Structure 1
Amino acid sequence: MPFLVPVDTGVPLAAPTFWIVAHRRALGRQPSTLYNELRSLMWLYLWAAARGVDIQQRLREGAFFALTEIIDIVNFCGRFTADALQEIDERSSKLSRLARRRKDSGRSVQSAEQRNRLAAISSFIEFTSADFLSVLAPWPQRWDHYNAVRTQCLDRLRGYTGGLAKPRRDDLGLPEGLEAAALKRLREVIEPDHPDNPFQPEVRFRNYFIIRLLLELGLRRGELLGVKLSDCNLGSTGSLTVHRRPDDPDDPRRDKPSAKTAARVLALNGRMTELAHEWVVHYRAKIPGARRHLFLVVNSRTGGPMSKSNLNKIFEALRHRVPGLPAELSPHILRHSWNDAFSETMDRKGIPGAQEVKWRARLMGWRSEFTARNYLRRTVRRRSNEVLKEMQDGLNIAPLEGVS
């Protein structure tokens, strides 16, 4: 569970802790999401440190923030951390720094990051001030005044946030699945006996099994690392269940992986069931320390549950040691590749679009079918270009006389 902790005290701040536990975590947010939201909220407290403002006092007394301060907060949230910390350091120093003060870099973070910071700040102010507002219920006039100032502050803050440049809507340079040649190369080189396999012999089958799971099931990194032996049905009708286990007490990893998507049961074909059985019985069972826990994928040296960084190193080795694989190869890129393959299968089978959307959402664990757009860039481009070419081929335009 993440907390916002000032360096000078080492004690978590009470108001952000209450906000993240009672409000954000109660909505089912994953630890990684809570961490990112606290990182965003941190900018309100960085601004307060740079300006000498007591956030809790402002909210408790109903003073909130003046228009100039709101504009300053918006601008401050667009800065890089080094620039913000430099300003705080200069303000807190008792020595004159005028002679050696560095100029602000003038750099700004991307508008999406700035919007995330301001969204967390707005949520925190709204939630925390609601608690103070509820206390004023016995005094209607004080309640009305506090609520009016609160509403005005939140409206202004959200107004400036909404005015920031929105992320681009084109798909140039955004993640896509692997090209056919790269995907073929990956499937070949991960075979344990392939001459270009970049891994040590003792981890080749494990890494082969990991990448096959990512390719065949479209799992997220956190979902894969969170699978337990009890989630695997390796009988005649094999299956693997993805569970949401936030803050799992049985997980000894400091940075616990988590499933962002909904729990679901995914079918395994005969070959994938055989691979899972072989990994569990003939490989995992022989690794010292692996019997101390139930997680499916383990560290080959310690036997403990595999960490995110350990999994990342597998893909780092593939990117750096295997010619023909793209620099952006990652577990998430393989999730995009799964979606490309799913679309091609639906096209071959002639499955109606509405049915395809529902099936995809269930297999991916998405609560909203709208999420699919982030994984369909290659498919949308392929299908739209096919239609465009068909339209062009159907245009029988006779050449003009005299024009060769």
Structure 2
Amino acid sequence: MDVEVILHDSGELLPILLDGDGMPIPLPNEFILSKRHASSNTLIRNLREIKLLYQWLHIHHIDLYERLIQKKPFTEAEIIGSLVEFLRRDHEKKHKTIKITVVPDTFNQRLITIKQFLSWYLEMYIGTLSFTSNNYQYYITYKTRLISLLDRCFINSPPTNKSLSKGLSDREQSHLIKLIRPKNGSQNPIEYRNYIMVMLMLSFGFRPGEVLSLRVEDVQLGGISSIRVHRRPPDINDKRKQRPQIKRNGRTLAINDRSLATELDIYITKWREILDQRNKTSIEWDYLILNQDGKPLSIASITQYFQILKEKHSEFLPTNFSPKTLRHTFSSSMERLLREAGVEEDHRKKALAYLRGDSSLSSQDVYTFKETELEANKYLGQYQREIFGL
């Protein structure tokens, strides 16, 4: 049993679940087709999670149609004592060290997908029944009971260390910029590429997928400079295994700093050109960020670069340093600047949501609360000094 990813002529990546004989398994593939609005990475992950359900069914010789449709329902022991325990295990064989269980977030995500799949299957069948059918109420009740059993199995994630800041402090940010800035006289285009890549993430709060999706044409330099995050149709020539995607809203952001505009211009006209000339394929890539062979850089390469930075400069960078750290740094800094400018909270949330490409205003609460907390503690300290200064 395996998940195979098919590249269609349109450039769309669509996964398909195959059985042991290499034949498609209809039901899960039909479920994935019903979710084609989601990103290809999400669909691949969902199908791999459903694959675990089918592996469990195969091991225990269980017919899903029989258990869901033919009124031979799953027992509580099968769901809680067997399936749930199977989903908690780590089934990956590529790890050097053997892990017995997966982290709570991974388990919960598996449970969510399988719950959605089973619910979808039952709803599809219920939709074929007449409302007056004697079986209608049975399947409604069975679906409610089955979903309730699965809902009881979710694991609360362990509390996070709130004292560990998600973003960089001013001192850590200063150290990072010094560490990645190309050395004087350097002729290595990779150093300049890495510098531009990190500075874009730090200056605009870009996600790795957004940085790697940028095209040269998205950077407009001139009297009014800007950079555009643009959602495009799938690139049929892009063969990266984890294809970078822009999952949320596109946006056009101003480049107001002249130094940043200048460095972007130099990178595009000089250092990226050197990388582009190393491309030996017949495809002319127009992505902004290229690897050392002149091809589009992969998400795995960004992850590896940040890991190297963290390990090599552990005395300067936090233990949780990652691309997300730069996004948190950008968001916290922008919240502080908006607050200091006197912008009201609702408008600050809207501004942050636009800058970050988010659809939900509630996702900005973590940043508005953090700045409120810092300001409250500042005045608390002032109050205490007044008391003890008497």
TM-score band w.r.t. shorter chain:
0.7 to 0.9
Q: Does the alignment pair 1:17 with 2:29?
A: yes
Residue-pair matches, total: 367
Q: Which amino acid aligns with 1:251?
A: D
Structure 2 partner of 1:144: 137
After superposition, what is the alpha-carbon deviation per residue over 1:286-321, rounded to whole angstroms, capped at 9, x for unaligned?
322297022111112x21111112223332342343
**Selected match of 2:205 from 204, 218, 225:** 218
Q: Distance in 2 between matches of 1:253 and 1:176?
A: 29
**Selected match of 1:67 from 65, 76, 84:** 76
After superposition, what is the alpha-carbon deviation per residue over 1:200-241, rounded to whole angstroms, capped at 9, x for unaligned?
723222111111111111100011001112322223211111
**Selected match of 1:42 from 51, 58, 68:** 51
Seen in structure 2, the aligned counterparts of structure 1 residues 108 and 204 have a Cα distance that, compared at 3 Å, is closer
Residues 240 and 267 in structure 1, CA contact (< 8 A), matched pair in contact too: yes
Residues 166 and 320 in structure 2, CA contact (< 8 A), matched pair in contact too: no
Residues 89 and 102 in structure 2, CA contact (< 8 A), matched pair in contact too: yes
Q: Distance in 2 between matches of 1:123 and 1:296?
A: 38
| SS class of match (1:32) | helix
Q: Which amino acid aligns with 2:199?
A: R
Structure 2 partner of 1:305: 296
Q: Does the alignment pair 1:259 with 2:246?
A: yes
Structure 1 partner of 2:3: none
Q: Which amino acid aligns with 1:292?
A: E
| SS class of match (1:77) | helix
Residues 192 and 208 in structure 1, CA contact (< 8 A), matched pair in contact too: yes
**Any stretches of 5+ residues in structure 1 without a counterpart?**
84-104, 399-404
**Any stretches of 5+ residues in structure 2 without a counterpart?**
1-12
Structure 2 partner of 1:80: 90
After superposition, what is the alpha-carbon deviation per residue over 1:93-119, rounded to whole angstroms, capped at 9, x for unaligned?
xxxxxxxxxxxx995444333322221
Q: Distance in 2 between matches of 1:77 and 1:340?
A: 37
Residues 17 and 28 in structure 2, CA contact (< 8 A), matched pair in contact too: no
Structure 2 partner of 1:278: 266
| SS class of match (2:253) | strand
TM-score when normalising by structure 2? 0.82
How far apart are 1:183 and its partner, in Å? Answer: 1.0
Q: Which amino acid aligns with 1:182?
A: E
Q: Which amino acid aligns with 2:149?
A: R
Structure 1 partner of 2:147: 154
Q: Distance in 2 between matches of 1:81 and 1:58?
A: 25
Structure 2 partner of 1:182: 172
After superposition, what is the alpha-carbon deviation per residue over 1:258-287, rounded to whole angstroms, capped at 9, x for unaligned?
122211111112332222222222222232
Alignment of 1:226-241 (within 5 A): 226-241=213-228
Seen in structure 2, the aligned counterparts of structure 1 residues 52 and 171 have a Cα distance that, compared at 3 Å, is same
Seen in structure 2, the aligned counterparts of structure 1 residues 312 and 350 have a Cα distance that, compared at 3 Å, is same
Alignment of 1:268-347 (within 5 A): 268-269=255-256, 270-286=258-274, 287-288=276-277, 289=279, 292-300=284-292, 302-322=293-313, 324-347=316-339
TM-score when normalising by structure 1? 0.80
Structure 2 partner of 1:111: 104
How far apart are 1:380 and its partner, in Å? Answer: 5.3
Q: Which amino acid aligns with 2:266?
A: E
Higher fraction of helix = 1
Greater radius of gyration (CA): 1
Q: Distance in 1 between matches of 2:184 and 2:375?
A: 35
Q: Distance in 1 between matches of 2:141 and 2:255?
A: 58
Structure 1 partner of 2:346: 354
Structure 2 partner of 1:100: none
| SS class of match (1:140) | coil
Structure 1 partner of 2:119: 126
Residues 90 and 99 in structure 2, CA contact (< 8 A), matched pair in contact too: no
After superposition, what is the alpha-carbon deviation per residue over 1:73-109, rounded to whole angstroms, capped at 9, x for unaligned?
23332233269xxxxxxxxxxxxxxxxxxxxx99544
Q: Distance in 2 between matches of 1:203 and 1:314?
A: 11
Structure 2 partner of 1:192: 182
| SS class of match (2:201) | helix
| SS class of match (2:351) | helix
Structure 1 partner of 2:230: 243
Seen in structure 2, the aligned counterparts of structure 1 residues 367 and 106 have a Cα distance that, compared at 3 Å, is closer
How far apart are 1:170 and its partner, in Å? Answer: 5.3
How far apart are 1:387 and its partner, in Å? Answer: 3.7
Q: Which amino acid aligns with 1:393?
A: R
Residues 177 and 378 in structure 1, CA contact (< 8 A), matched pair in contact too: no
Residues 122 and 139 in structure 2, CA contact (< 8 A), matched pair in contact too: no
**Selected match of 1:383 from 372, 375, 383:** 375
Q: Distance in 2 between matches of 1:184 and 1:274?
A: 20
Residues 176 and 375 in structure 1, CA contact (< 8 A), matched pair in contact too: no
Identity level (%): 25
Q: Distance in 1 between matches of 2:88 and 2:338?
A: 43
Residues 220 and 331 in structure 1, CA contact (< 8 A), matched pair in contact too: yes
